[in-house]
Chains A and B, each alone.
Chain A
Amino acid sequence: MNTQGKVFKYPDNVDTDVIIPARYLNTPNAQELALHCMEDIDKAFVKKVEKGDVIVAGWNFGCGSSREHAPLVIKTCGTGCVIAKSFARIFYRNAINIGLPILECEEAADEINANDEVSVDFDTGIITDITTGKTYKAQPFPPFIQNIIKAGGLLKSLKEAENK
């Protein structure tokens, strides 16, 4: 599994309120919500994002509300991966549970620039900045979490276990 695309870069403490403002949470419809992805931090994001693109951010990405709508809109927009120095814990859980690939890598988050072309290999955790030619290695997930991702999310992994 991998992704390749251009980078959207954001600072530390990107909260779920700017990822998907609560004023839009009167619907659970992912397609409708995705029209407002990142609206309060970057109005241009939804117009510019293309399938496979990568969000790169600082510490504590996805802090604040537990709304699963946040990783869901990022995924629905076509974003292939989020790389950050760290993730807020509920966002981290939610991303894994719904199958949005995320990677923690401090060096990559520091050095990769906005609009760079980046490719990410999720099996090895290797991040390649094609623009600069540099590669980075992210922390791999523990096997327990890899199993959830491989099954296609938490509920599918539970159903698989139930059917065994």
Chain B
Amino acid sequence: MKMTMTQKILAAHAGLREVTAGQLINAKLDIVLGNDITTPVAIHEFKKAGFTDVFDKDRVTIVLDHFVPNKDIKAAEQSKTCREFACSHCVSHFYDVGKMGIEHALLPEQGIVTAGDCIIGADSHTCTYGALGAFSTGVGSTDMAAGMATGMAWFKVPSAIKFNLTGKLPENCSGKDVILTIIGMIGVDGALYKSMEFTGEGVKNLSMDDRLCICNMAIEAGAKNGIFPVDDITLAYLQDRSEREPVVYEADPDAEYEKVIDIDLAKIVPTVACPHLPENTHPASELHDIKVDQVVIGSCTNGRMEDMEAAYSILNGKKIADGIRCIIIPGTMQIYRECVERGYVTAFIDAGAVVSTPTCGPCLGGYMGILAAGERCIATTNRNFVGRMGHVDSEVYLASPHTAAASALTGYITEYKEA
């Protein structure tokens, strides 16, 4: 057997002893996910095809996160469609305002996804859960509809690129700088159709939040999934959280990889992806002439507790530069509450930032921080495509929470250096 970790999980879910890259399989799904934008389309397709029941009410997860609290009447109608469907099918994992969070921060936090799972989600950043040692990938609404109806999905078994991580990150870097560096290295289609398997002794030096962030942006390199091995950090995270028993898969020692790329974490520097592609990366230190109008700290990439801690450590007791709008969005209600309890929210407000309830909002140009023509934002989000956060003539620079918070204090792109 020469299977990668991803191939092992897929083989087990397809009921096969072995699979090879390129093979088409039908796999059993542990979780099927959708949000307030993709689920209405899935519901429409589900009904149109004549399906009446979901395969398992405990395995379908619907999270309202993109445009909630509803940004306008049409968004309210989409939320209503999801709510009514969830209610009529007794969907147990339905997350509405007050309970919701940004889906890819919420599902791991709530223990809905776990190690060894096979997961599809009608959201491209569903690849996030690979951090837990799961196979997890983004699909469209029709795949979601099929998954809800049958509990199965077809996959082409991917080949893999192995990233051998060594060393330990510098204090001012996090998982975001790692994944931006990798995307800069291999390009936005550098892992097209493939798995990105992260291994090596450096893994133990990456927190769960770092790993979730790294896997989250695997899609930005075109990957089918990103995945980390399960270690003590993973198991500690899953303990008392995971609804189902984690299943640990390991790559075979002789697993075949298309390529092996060595990454020395100690050599990572604060990295920024300039407009208009995530592969257009530069060290933050080389961009200090670039003035910004807005800073966004949040999203499914960087709205977790460690991201809030990074923002707090830099903004506490300081003032955001004149003329800069700083928007901070904790990823889930639990993180939001923690920020309130720890006094972060007060510190953010005193610094001159605004703190929103969880939403994808500005990341995809939905609401809560849309840019006008000619405006620039440094954001901890995941895409900097033309028009992504607003006007087609606006610009998004992608960075870590450290770099974004430091930039909020100066008004220019700034590499964070500890005082």
Which chain A residues have a beta carbon within 8 Å of chain B's beta carbons?
A: 13, 15, 17-18, 21-23, 25-28, 40-41, 59-60, 63-69, 71-72, 86, 88-90, 93-94, 97-98, 142, 144, 153-156, 158-159
Contacts and interface: CB of A to CB of B under 8 A. Distances in A.
A6 B189 CA distance: 28
B193 interface: yes
Interface in B10-61: 24, 37-38, 40-41, 44-46, 48-51
Interface residues of B, number: 55
A133 to B, nearest CB: 32
Contacts of B366: 22-23, 25
Interface of B: 24, 37-38, 40-41, 44-46, 48-51, 66-67, 71-72, 74-75, 77-78, 81, 121-124, 126, 138-143, 145-146, 149-150, 154, 188-189, 192-193, 219, 222, 224, 277, 364-366, 370, 383, 385-388, 392
Nearest to B150: A158
14 contacts: A15-B383, A17-B386, A27-B77, A28-B78, A40-B386, A40-B387, A63-B189, A65-B364, A66-B139, A88-B222, A89-B192, A97-B140, A97-B143, A158-B146
A41 B188 contact: no
Contact of A63 (B74, B77, B222, B365): B222
B49 A155 contact: yes
A158 B147 CA distance: 11
A83 to B, nearest CB: 17
B260 to A, nearest CB: 22
Contacts of B46: 155
Contacts of A40: 386-387, 392
Contacts of B126: 66
Contact of A28 (B40, B71, B386): B40
A162 B228 CA distance: 37
B267 to A, nearest CB: 28
B138 A22 contact: no
List 8 tightest A-B contacts by C-beta distance, closest first: A68-B140, A94-B140, A155-B49, A26-B74, A97-B142, A22-B364, A66-B124, A60-B189
A35 to B, nearest CB: 14
